[in-house]
């Protein structure tokens, strides 16, 4: 076998964290060892063109994944999905030698088609633990925890980022990603620090209505959602995170950390809570449970540049150690070799 053929699949190729993870894997996977294809099963999206820039073929809305797998003669089908049953996401006929990998984003179990999957990858220890506590382990399957990657090439370190009296966040335009606490604290922060400014990217109509009702529009800058977020992070002093549904990883948190921006996040007991796995309370950011704690944490960081710098440095260090794309991709390559029973290093 000269190269392992890998087909990455997800429902759409939009702007979210799952799709960005897929794009980064496409960028860094060793092209001398792997031939890569991508499938947007239900639709394309803004990342389709970005992936094609790497010379990788992208297939949008194929008739079915079985036909595409047969046409491309792939060895590994790697699908990114929620984990529970989604009709059409898995191949129904497994050609001899085909390995099926599921990146399980929400730690759920596909009761109907779990037997088709050879390996489950979880995006955080929280997600991994949730799955095992709820469903246990199945025989003859591989299980791995591999964090989502951060592309440090996207965030050059040689560009200076002075302290800014600013706070805010970026998210995809989904109300479930915008916890009201992140918005309600804005007037509290401005009351204490009138010169502060809030920057938001990816807001929904509902979020805009809340901001207007708080009478803080003059101190808020709303940015159009964009793939190019490096400048946005560099212009923040504090990253304010909070998702109504919690996080099973939190790509924007990891990216803020990579940019030396301390994160204030909200714990969501009873819901996905991996944000507390990324942010170490009072070490590289703050993990809060109440609105008052949240506002106080943002104010403390804005008023104390030395604390912000210390937290930011530790956040960057953790991001380098745990989320660096080059390290993450090596974990995927090792997994692929194990599944295919190939040792590229031994064959060189």
- Model confidence pLDDT, tens digit, residues 233-244: 999 999 999 999
Average pLDDT value for residue range 116-128: 97
Chain-centre distance of CA 134, in angstroms?
A: 23
Q: What is the pLDDT of residues 5-16, one digit of tens each?
A: 999 999 999 999
DSSP 3-state assignment of 38?
strand
Q: Are 74 and 46 in contact (CB under 8 A)?
A: no
pTM score, whole prediction: 0.95
Q: What is the pLDDT of residues 169-188, one digit of tens each?
A: 999 999 999 999 999 999 99
Q: Does residue 158 carry a pLDDT above 50?
A: yes
**Comparing C-alpha atoms, which of 177, 16, 1 is closest to residue 74?**
1
pLDDT for the residue 140: 86
Tell me the pLDDT band of 343, cut-offs 50, 70 and 90. Answer: low
201-252 residue pLDDT tens: 999 999 999 999 999 999 999 999 999 999 999 999 999 999 999 999 999 9
Binned at pLDDT 50, 70 and 90, residue 345 comes out as: low
Predicted confidence band at 344 (pLDDT cuts at 50, 70, 90)? low
264-303 as b/e, with b when 16 or more CB fall inside 10 Å?
A: bbbbbeeebbbbbbbbbeeebbbbbeebebbbbbbbebbe
Which residues 6+ apart lie within 8 Å of 78 measured at CB?
6, 7, 8, 9, 101, 102, 103
Residue 44 has pLDDT above 90, yes or no: yes
Tens-place pLDDT, residues 45-57: 999 999 999 999 9
Classify 202 in phi/psi space as left (phi over 0), alpha (psi -120 to 50) or beta.
left
Position 88 confidence tier, pLDDT thresholds 50, 70, 90? very high
Q: Is 70 exceeded by the pLDDT of residue 271?
A: yes
Q: What are the chain's domains?
A: 4-149+324-347 (3.40.50.2000), 155-322 (3.40.50.2000)
Is the torsion defined by CA of 211, 212, 213, 219 positive or negative? positive
The predicted pLDDT at position 208 comes to: 97
* 156 pLDDT tier (thresholds 50, 70, 90): confident
pLDDT of residue 251: 97
pLDDT at 348 (0 to 100) = 43
């Amino acid at each position: 076998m000269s190269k392992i053929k890998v087909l990455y699949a997800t429902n759409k190729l939009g702007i979210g964290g799952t799709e960005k993870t897929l794009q980064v894997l496409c960028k860094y996977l060793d092209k001398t060892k792997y031939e890569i294809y991508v499938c947007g099963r239900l639709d394309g999206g803004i990342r389709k063109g970005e992936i094609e820039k790497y010379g990788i073929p992208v297939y949008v809305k194929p008739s079915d994944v079985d036909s595409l797998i047969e046409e491309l003669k792939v060895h590994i089908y790697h699908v990114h999905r929620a984990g529970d049953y989604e009709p059409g996401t898995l191949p129904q006929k497994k050609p001899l030698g085909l390995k099926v990998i599921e990146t399980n984003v929400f730690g759920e179990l596909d009761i109907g088609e779990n037997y088709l999957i050879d390996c489950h990858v979880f995006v955080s220890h929280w997600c991994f633990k949730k799955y095992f506590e709820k469903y246990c382990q199945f025989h003859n399957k591989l299980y791995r925890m591999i964090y989502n990657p951060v592309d440090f090439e996207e965030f050059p370190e040689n560009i200076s980022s002075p302290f800014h009296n600013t706070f805010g966040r970026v998210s995809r335009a989904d109300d479930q990603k915008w916890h009201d606490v992140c918005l309600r604290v804005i007037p509290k922060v401005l009351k204490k620090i009138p010169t502060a400014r809030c920057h938001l990217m990816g807001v929904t109509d509902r979020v805009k209505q809340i901001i207007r009702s708080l009478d803080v529009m003059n101190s808020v800058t709303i940015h159009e959602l964009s793939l190019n977020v490096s400048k946005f992070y560099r212009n923040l002093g504090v990253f304010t995170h909070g998702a109504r549904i919690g996080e099973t990883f939190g790509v924007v948190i990891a990216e803020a950390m990579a940019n030396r921006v301390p994160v204030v996040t909200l714990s969501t007991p009873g819901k996905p809570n991996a944000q507390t796995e990324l942010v170490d309370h009072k070490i590289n950011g703050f993990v809060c449970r109440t609105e008052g704690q949240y506002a106080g944490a943002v104010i403390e960081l804005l008023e104390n540049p030395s604390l912000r710098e210390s937290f930011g440095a530790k956040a960057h260090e953790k991001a380098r150690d745990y989320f660096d794309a080059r390290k993450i991709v090596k974990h995927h390559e090792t997994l692929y070799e194990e599944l295919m029973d190939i040792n590229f290093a031994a064959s060189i």
